[in-house]
Chain A
Amino acid sequence: MRERPLSPHLSVYKFKYTLVTSILNRLTGLALSLGLLLFVYWLTALSSGPQAYGRALPLLSHVAAKALYAGLLVAFCYHLVAGIRHLIWDTGRGLERAQAYRSSWMLAAGTAILSLLFGYFLFCPVAGVS
């Protein structure tokens, strides 16, 4: 097939906050897709009996793994709030430029708050979990 011309995009698009929030939503989504693989590994180990799970546990409890969980948690919180924002956009609300900028900041704040909230309960020994 003959090489078809493409109009310029990244080279001409003006930088906007909504540009960042959009690509971050995509990146966090991809990160979570990788997390899905970890999820399957965990469940498969669990269903393979206590010995198999005992072999998987050191890997899953490793410090590097915990750092990964923290990253996935932040990615999840971001993707959740950004996703809800998308759903709101689907109803036609909040599409004006000023509104989109404002919701970008609310998105950042929401991500931070949710990440800290969930992160505290998931990782703090005080709260007594894994």
Chain B
Amino acid sequence: MTSLALIPLAIWFVVSLIALPATNHAVLTDWLAHGWNALLLVMFGLIATRHSQLGVQVVIEDYVHAPGIKMPALILNLFAHILIAAAVAYAVLKIAL
């Protein structure tokens, strides 16, 4: 239930952005080094990506009917989101660890 998990996580993300004094490199890397911020950001990123993948999948299933396009589109959607998820996890962990 990605939507359920995203309610607190997404709000946390927006509120965290508001609470940041600035968005330069130093402030952001410092923020990620403390407490649960990196963990929550990874969780937010991964769950949001999964949620996005499911959403786009439904859109493809609803509007794309040509058999030669539908299947590749669904596969491309999945792979693209896996790539995004990996990129998010890699980037945050690279900063935080």
Chain A residues within 8 Å of B, Cβ to Cβ? 1, 26, 29-30, 32-33, 36-37, 39-40, 43-44, 46-47, 49-50, 53-54, 57, 73, 76, 80, 83-84, 86-87, 118, 121-122, 127-130
Contacts and interface: CB of A to CB of B under 8 A. Distances in A.
| 9 closest residue pairs by CB, A with B | A47-B91, A43-B91, A47-B94, A50-B25, A33-B52, A121-B18, A53-B25, A130-B23, A29-B55
Interface of B: 3-4, 6-7, 10-11, 14, 17-18, 20-26, 28-29, 45, 48-49, 52, 55-56, 59, 67, 84, 87-88, 90-92, 94-95
A57 B24 contact: yes
Dominant secondary structure of chain B at its interface with chain A:
helix
Given A39-B45, A129-B18, A87 B52 contact: no
Q: Is the interface of A mostly helix, strand, loop or mixed?
A: helix
